[in-house]
Amino acid sequence: MKSYTEYLAFNTKNKIEFVNITSKVEEVLKKSGIKEGLCLVNAMHITASVFINDEEEGLRADFREWLEKLVPQNKEYQHNLTGEDNAHAHLKRTVMGREVVIAVTGGQLDFGPWEQIFYGEFDGKRAKRVLVKVIGG
């Protein structure tokens, strides 16, 4: 068994943004040379997320609206009393998840219909990373 690791860099233009990273992860998988195994994609920051869903702009807007209703930016949170202003981003990350694991079959990400990988940014406009680790043979 072998493994291959690469980090993707992000610095979004907006505080909250959803970026389809499927093609970037596929490039990492290709570089790895691994044909059968698992691919871990992990947000390396506590105010960002990685998740799988459909690539559709209406759904992205629905995520933004739903998350804002669930965890509003302008609410007074205990975390913000420490001088921070990003408690909402920590909570949104918890809801959307930290990472995904995708099976690798025949050198390809083994997705279901319409599945794509997204980086969810909830406290953007600064440098962040996503870990991609492929394990297998």
Mean pLDDT of 104-115: 97
Query: What CATH number does the domain containing 132 carry?
Result: 2.60.120.460
Q: What is the pLDDT of residue 4?
A: 98
Give the structural domain span for 37: 2-136
Q: What is the pLDDT of residue 67?
A: 98
Q: What is the pLDDT of residue 112?
A: 96
Helices (H) and strands (E) in the chain, counts: 3, 8
Question: Could you give the number of structural domains in the chain?
Answer: 1
Average pLDDT value over all residues in the chain: 97
Mean pLDDT of 107-121: 97
**Integer Cα distance of 101 and 39 in angstroms:** 5
Q: What is the pLDDT of residue 100?
A: 98
What is the pLDDT confidence band of residue 80, given thresholds at 50, 70 and 90?
very high
Q: Residues 117-129: pLDDT tens digits?
A: 999 999 999 999 9
